[in-house]
């Protein structure tokens, strides 16, 4: 039989029972669509996280109080209050450290911010003028914190755009307005440009105050939450990590690096951790979606087995008229492959459409990997061949006499 004739007969057989054929195709459609949509969601999430991490600043190193096994200095069981403003100043002024461009001491904590009848619970960042350079923060209006503000512990605040909206509403200029943080009155001196994001760590939902004001007046502490560093170049990141690490060990009078009471993370460390997490999440989601493909394949096999049973007399007649075993196998295998091809194309379309709709509704990135589409389609074809082979083989093995006698 010619290929055109085989396809024509296969389509005729499949359209005899449209409901059954549609249900068989539906399993493949759901499987393919789920795989594509979930892989797209995972990749978009990973790209969004990477973009947010990279937006925090270039050549960024972060020193946190406490222990870690990251970087060249392996931490021990340290305290969470081991970094001070004096440590940051020493790093910035030390002639031993030649690979660091800018040092930004920081203290962060959450607090209720109130103005008039409006209030919001947001992140308060105690910072210095260096914060804008290290974290690539742009000022939309007004000014950022000055050295005099830090030295004098002035009660001034710079607001992220989300805080401005929450407290003052859309289109309102907050410069010169006052607000209260933990019972203290602050004057708004500036606003920052939007960076985007959501949830904790959203840079648009932050209030920046002088680090000394945050420490001594708002939170009553003497330590820092972290010290952010900007290396002079990307090539000097490891050098900076080593220089600062061993400098702090000596400053904290620690001779054993395994007992370090601080941790140093590079931007790449954070990025790698986030990428590994989202990759695992994407793999798990894809695995769940792949089960749908397997179920769809089993559905096709069941449909084909029922079809073989219903067409036993037809098969017997064909074999009696001289049809070869190969021809019978090809016929039934073609029907299974057509089911998966049609289901695959519809599944690809619905998967891409679903991914697009999710990206629109969640304001996230829309990413479709051609490899995931090709892989999902290839898997559907393989499933059609594997699950179509057994029914086709069973049909081809029927004896003509017994098939013709079948009731």
Q: Could you give the CA distance from residue 265 to residue 248 in angstroms, rounded to a whole number?
A: 14
Q: What is the CA radius of gyration of the chain?
A: 33
Strands (E), 116-249: 118-127, 139-142, 156-159, 178-181, 184-192, 206-210, 226-231
Q: Where are the beta strands (DSSP E) in 312-368?
A: none
Q: What is the pTM of this model?
A: 0.60
Q: What CA–CA distances, in Å, run from 404 to 98, 237, 320, 388?
A: 91, 80, 9, 23
- pLDDT digits over 173-199, tens only? 899 999 999 889 999 999 999 876 554
DSSP for 211-238, written as a single string? HHHIIIIIS--SB-SEEEEEESSGGGHH
pLDDT tens digits for range 142-173: 999 999 999 999 999 999 999 999 999 888 88
- pLDDT at position 401 is 64
pLDDT at 71: 45
Quick one: pLDDT band at residue 67, thresholds 50, 70, 90? Answer: low
DSSP 8-state assignment for residue 345: H
- Whether the pLDDT of residue 240 is over 60: the answer is yes
- Please list, residue by residue across 341-351, b when 16 or more beta carbons sit within 10 angstroms of its beta carbon and e when fewer do: bbbbebbbebb
pLDDT at 332 over 80: no
Per-residue model confidence (pLDDT) at position 70 = 43
Supply φ then ψ for residue 8, to 5 degrees.
-60, -45
Per residue in 367-401, pLDDT tens? 887 877 887 777 777 777 777 777 777 766 767 66
C-beta of residue 332 within 8 angstroms of C-beta of residue 9: no
* DSSP letter (8 states) at residue 73: S
Q: Which of 109, 133, 134 is nearest to 122 (CA)?
A: 109
Element (H, E) at 128: none
> Tokens at residue 251, please?
């400053």
- List, in order, residues 6 or more apart from 209 with CB less than 8 Å away: 124, 125, 126, 127, 145, 155, 156, 157, 158, 181, 186, 218
Residue located via tokens 């995931």: 372
Residue 321 has φ and ψ, to the nearest 5°, of -85, 5
pLDDT for 224 beyond 80: yes
Residues 183-195: b if buried by 16+ CB within 10 A, e if exposed: eeebebbbbbeeb
Tell me the average pLDDT of the chain: 81
End-to-end CA, the chain: 28
| pLDDT of residue 4 exceeding 80 | no
pLDDT at 279: 74
247 pLDDT above the threshold of 70: yes
Nearest by Cα to 68 from 211, 273, 280, 230: 273
């Amino acid at each position: 039989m010619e290929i055109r004739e085989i396809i024509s007969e296969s389509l005729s057989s499949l359209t005899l029972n449209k409901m059954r054929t549609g249900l068989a195709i539906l399993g493949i459609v759901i499987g393919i669509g789920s795989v594509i949509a979930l892989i797209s969601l995972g990749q978009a999430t990973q790209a969004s996280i990477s973009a947010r991490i990279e937006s925090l600043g270039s050549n960024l190193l972060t020193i946190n109080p406490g222990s870690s096994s990251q970087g060249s200095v392996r931490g021990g069981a340290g305290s969470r209050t081991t970094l001070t403003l004096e440590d940051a100043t020493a790093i910035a002024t030390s002639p031993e450290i030649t690979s660091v461009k800018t040092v930004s001491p920081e203290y962060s904590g959450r607090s209720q911010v109130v103005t008039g009848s409006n209030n919001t619970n947001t992140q308060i960042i105690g910072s210095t003028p260096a914060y804008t350079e290290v974290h690539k923060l742009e000022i939309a209006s007004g000014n950022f914190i000055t050295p005099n503000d830090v030295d004098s512990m002035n009660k001034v605040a710079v607001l992220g755009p989300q805080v401005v909206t929450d407290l003052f509403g859309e289109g309102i200029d907050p410069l010169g307005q006052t607000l209260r943080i933990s019972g203290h009155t602050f004057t708004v001196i500036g606003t920052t440009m939007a960076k985007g994001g959501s949830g904790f760590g959203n840079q648009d939902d932050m209030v920046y105050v002088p680090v000394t004001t945050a420490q001594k007046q708002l939170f009553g502490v003497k330590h820092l939450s972290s010290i952010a560093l900007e290396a002079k170049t990307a090539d000097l990141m490891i050098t900076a990590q080593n220089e600062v690490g061993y400098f702090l060990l000596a400053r904290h009078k620690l001779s054993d690096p395994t007992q370090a009471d601080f941790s140093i993370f590079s931007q790449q460390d954070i990025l790698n951790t986030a990428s590994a997490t989202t990759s695992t999440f994407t793999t798990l989601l894809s695995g769940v979606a792949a089960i749908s493909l397997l179920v769809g394949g089993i559905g096709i096999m069941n449909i084909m087995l029922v079809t073989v049973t219903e067409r036993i007399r037809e098969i017997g007649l064909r074999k009696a008229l001289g049809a070869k075993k190969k021809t019978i196998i090809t016929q039934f295998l073609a029907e299974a492959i057509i089911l998966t091809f049609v289901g695959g194309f519809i599944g690809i379309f619905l998967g891409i459409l679903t991914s697009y709709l999710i990206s629109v509704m969640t304001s996230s990135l829309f990413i479709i990997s051609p490899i995931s589409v090709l892989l999902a389609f290839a898997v559907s074809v393989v499933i059609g061949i594997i699950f179509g082979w057994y029914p086709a083989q069973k049909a081809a093995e029927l004896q003509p006499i017994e098939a013709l006698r079948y009731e």
